[in-house]
Each structure stands twice: as C-alpha cells, then as structure tokens.
Structure 1
Amino acid sequence: MDRHQLAKESPIGVVLFGGLLLFAAVFYHIDELLLLDNPVGPALALLLDGTPALALVVAGYWLWCSPFDPKGRWTVSTWTVAGSVAGGLVIGGTIGVRLYEGRPLVEPVFPLLTGLGMGGVAGAVAGYFNARAKQDARRAAVLTDALSFVNSVIRHDLLNDLTAIRGHADVLAEDHRPESVDVISRKANEATERIETSRSIVETVTGNGSFEPIDLVAVVEAVTAQTRETTLATVTTDCPETAMVRANDGLESIVDNLVENAVEHAEGAEPRVHVTVSQTAGTVRLTVADDGPGIDQATARTLFDNASGDASGLSIVDRLVAAYDGTVWATPRSRYDGLGAPEWDETGGTVFVVDLPAV
C-alpha cells in the first residue's frame, strides 16, 4: 500500500484503536458490573474510560466520511494516536512513580485506559484544527496557483493563438487564401478550448470540479498530434483503442504539460518523446518518456514534493492528478521496466508516470 492510500485509509486505524480501547474497558469492568451488589461505581468507571474510547470510534468514522483529503486524514489520525500515547505516558508515569516509591496500586488499568482515551480525544480535536488550518492554507495556495495558471494561459498560449488568427486574417484580407481560412478556424477553436480548459482546471484544483468518463487515449492522440505540428520532436505513442478515466477537461492539461516538459528536456537534433497508455485491473497508466539527460533517483523521489509554484508546470499536474484520485511520479528511464519505447540510449532520459482509477 502506497503512502497516498495509507493516508486515505488512516481513519480505519482510529476506529480500530478506539474499538480496542472500548473492548478493553468493557472487558475490564464487566465482572464488577455483574458481581457487585452495587454496580454504580463500576458503571461510572466504565463511563469514564469507555466514553472517550467510543468517541474515538465515532471520530474515526466521521473522519472517514469527512471531506478531508488524504493529507488531512493522516494529520488527524496521527495527532489522535500521539495524544493517546501522551495521555498514556502521563498516567503510566504516575503509576511508575508509585511503584518506585513502593506505594500500593489500586486498579492501575482504569486510570491508564482513561488516560489513553482522553489523550486520544484531545489529540483528535487538536489534529482536526491543525488539519483545517493546513487545508485552508493549501486551498489558498491552490487558488493562487490556479489563478496564476489561467493568467499564464491567457498571456502565452491564448495570445499566440489570437496573434495567429489576426495575422492570417490580415493575409486573407489582402489575398483570398483558403489555407488562412483553415488556420483561422483551427486557432479560434483552440482558443475556445483553452478558455474552457482553464475554467475546468480552476474548478478542479479548488475542489469544485465535476467529473465524467473521459477517454485518455483520445486526449493523448490530440495532444501529441498538436505537438508534432508545433515542434521538431519525434513524438511516438503506444495506446490501446480506449482507456476511460473519471476526469474533466483538466486531463488535457496533465498530458499537455508532461509532453511539453518531455519535449523541452529531450536532446539531440531530433529530440524524441514516447507516450504510452496501458490498463490493468482498475488502473489506467500514462507514461511520458524523453531521451534527455534524465534525473537521478534521489531527485525523482522528491520531484513533486518540491514542485515549484509555477502553475503551468508540474505543480498543476500534481494537483490535478490528486483531484482525480490518482498518483504521479518520475523515475530515470533506465530504472523503468516495460516502457515499450524504441531502442534509446539507456544512460539518460526520464519517465513520468501517472496512474488514474479506471472507469
């Protein structure tokens, strides 16, 4: 299980931990409740150490159903465990002191269970506010990145499209040329698509996107066809007929950014990029490989952790993939098996890998 999946399912650990404490409390007090003539004392004791344990079970279930992302879930879960450990250490410390001093101990399990439970509840509350603060900070950063991306698209890509439209419109005005009509029509359509894509990206990275089944193969073919028209790079593909994932127009930005990044880092008079799409049980994999100088394994492991705030690059890819419940990572091409690329020099090159849930 990878870290993303472990963080996503961490609330289950909170539920199990709370359930274990609750079971221990009931098991410890059940004999007293059944055997004593006056069960009020044991009932109150069970209320004191059982209620926090039950609260942890409820908190874990709530966390599982909450809108927290995996990072937020992991934060609350780890704070819960840390709080419980701290509470247990405090009570355990007092018990240890009494033992060291030779004092008699009366029911040490009861205060220990209470300390573990109350510490866990306190940790869960603290973790909730900590996760909320981090989530709000991430949302602010995401919104900034998204707005920066839209600005980048409008200033660069869309400006280029409109410049081409204006130039060919001038040519068409001077001399009726059918090829200019085709360019104007194509560039106008591309400009419209970029505006729609920008809106989808903003909605997706801010958590307001709506998703539908989209054919990743069709997106790859469209992006690589356009790349071949605008660069000198040799772009090859290896794709099945279809590969459906749940996404929106932002999926095109993932492919476009990774292909553009590969073209920029490819080397030689004829730089080469190879794009593949494959599908296994429940997962669709996109790989984008180049024949550039590559990166070392240590850099590859932290590439997306240290992605810059440039919203038109790897940062947006990382955020969009996460929004689609996928994972993205990079590796030196020599360390990636099963690429299926043409015979390239194995000493260089980088592979970017995106795994998305299949529909």
Structure 2
Amino acid sequence: MPTLRGHHVVSLIGAGLLVAAAVHHGTEVEAVGNVGGPLLAFALDGGIAVAVLAAGRRIARRGLSPAEEWRVARWTASGAVLALAAFAATLAVRVFEGRPLVEPAFPMLVAAGAGSLGGAVAGYYAVRQAADARRARDAVRAVSFVNHLLRHDLRNDLSTIRGYADLLVDETDGSDHAATVAAKAGEGLERIEATSAVADAILGDAGSSRVDLAATTRNVLSSVDDGDSVTVETDLPESASVAANDGVRSIVHNLVENAIEHAGPDVTVRVAVRVGEGDTTEEVGDDEVALVVEDDGPGLPPEIRNGSFPDDDGRDEGRAGSRDGAGSRDGAGSRDGGVSGLGLVATLADAYGGSLEAGESDLGGARFAVTLPHAPADSAGFDT
C-alpha cells in the first residue's frame, strides 16, 4: 500500500474544495432557476480548487523529501484554516450586528481555496529557502574541512621534505640544490600558514590572538626589491599589536604590491603603522592601529573611486578575494591581484573588525589605510 505523502494531502484539499464547490453550485442551479450565475461562481472557486490540485502535482515533481512535503501540506492546511477563521469572524460580527447572512457558502469556498493556495505556495518557498540555507551551511563546513585537511597534510609533507633537504645540505659539497629545495619547502609552509589564516578569518574560524603589525610589515617589506625602480620609505613603531591572525600578512602584502604594480616605474611607496594613543596626527582611534600605504603614482584606479573594492571580475563586491587566495612568493597575496587584492584586504579587515579606506596621497598618488582593533599586551588572547 503506497505511503501517504504531503503532496497527496495538498491534492486532497484541492479535490475536496472542488467537490464542495460543484455540489454547492449544482444545488444553486435548481434554486435560482438559471445556469449563468452558478457557473460563473463555480469558475471562480472551482478554478482556485483546481490550482490547489495543480500545486499538489507540482510539489510531487519537485523531488522534495517526505518531511519537506509534509511541511508544505501543513502550510496548505493552515492557510485554509486561517482564511476560513478570518471569514467566519466577519460573519460573527454581522450576526452580532443583527444583519442577515446572504449565501455565505460561496465566499467561504473562495476564502478556503485562496488560503490553501497561498499556504501551498508559501510552504513550498519556505522549504526551498530552508534547503538552500542548509546547503550553504554544508558548503561552509566542507570548505572548512578541506582547508584544515589540506593544510595538515601538506604541512606534514613539506616539513618532511625540508627536514631531508637540511640533511642533504649537511652531506653535500658545493651543490646548492638541496638548499633550494629547503628554501622552497619553507616558502610552501609559510604559504600554507598564510592561506589557512585567510580562510579561517573569512569563515569566522579565527581564534583571538595578538599579531604584531609592525613586525609583520617589516617582514613583508624585507622581500620587496628596494632598488632603482622601487623606493620604500617606512615609519614603523617598535611594535603595534592588533587583534587578528596571521592573515594580517596578506593585508600588508596586497597593499604594498598594489602600490608597486599600479604606480608605474620609479615608484616611491611610503608605509607607516600608527598606534592610536593620542600622540599621532593620523585619524586613528585610541583602540585602533592603522596601516597606511601611499605611493606617488597616478592616483586611485577608476574601479575604486566610488569607495568600493571590485573583485577580479570587476564587480563591486567589497568582499572579494584575490584570484589565488594567498598564493604568492611569500604566501601572502597575488602579484596579479592589484584591484582584486584590495577586495581581499577589505574582506580581511572586515573579518577582523576593522575597515579599509582609500583616498589621495600627499605624494600625489593613492593612499590606502587599514584600521584594525588594537590588542595591547594586557588584553585577552595569545601572541602569534
């Protein structure tokens, strides 16, 4: 014997309304002595009943689970009951006022049919919305799981490679191949850590920690070629702790790389870190730390003059990441991600409770300022 499912209930409600309309208007034909009026009324309430029947058939073809179908059925029945209750309330008021009730069956059938149809439609979209939300949660869990799995396995493999490469360096004479392997393995490990930190921040899995923004900035700048084509000026305090994780490295790297990539040849880049302690001319709150990167290039790109930071497709996302996440030579950002890198910076700054602002630099080019929450040494968290 087939199991009764939710779409059967919806169809039965529609069939019941259709039969009730047919019986009622059939008796009206004899009562009024003509066919036109009852037939027109039947076209209305019977048509709504047919629509409820069609909704039941449509739900059956949508591949919903039994639980989802029963949820739609409950919405359908509830819609009919609520509509009938509302109409019955109006009838009760008329009775209380002493007014006569003229042929209430027809409007009751219309109300019940409209309530059923509305409930079926609302229930179906409620089920779809719940399913979409569930799939989104599952996707986030899957991304988080893959992130942790890959970083665990790759970290172990690269650590093994670097260990054996170090042994080869000690055992070989004159060959730098082993040293190259060890260096590349070390870079790979740094890249994994940076990518993992970015993913954790975006997914909301990042724990509370203190990161020295000044030390991170110095480390990133040490890999920049400060030669004839690039001049880097710095104004960095001894330390400037922020509440974040190692993904801060991607913020610094992307802003510096953006300045170098877009400012043209012989660029001058000025990098400063300001701690808001009341003794700075920068607009930094007492509980904030600001990273300011300026250049003497052509100024702000057209894509971000309206205050948004488009992704690598040119769309104004303001939350977009760089094309390869955190992949570059130091594991912090993409060298091809000038504008898309700014999307990653905006995303990370927001994830850390900060912000990214763009403006014109005193040097004549662009100025980008990231503010992050200050994390003094006596605050909660741990150092990374």
Q: Shorter chain as normaliser: what TM range?
A: 0.3 to 0.5
Could you state the TM-score of these two structures normalised by the residue count of structure 1?
0.46
Could you state the TM-score of these two structures normalised by the residue count of structure 2?
0.43
Rg larger for: 2
Higher helix share: 1
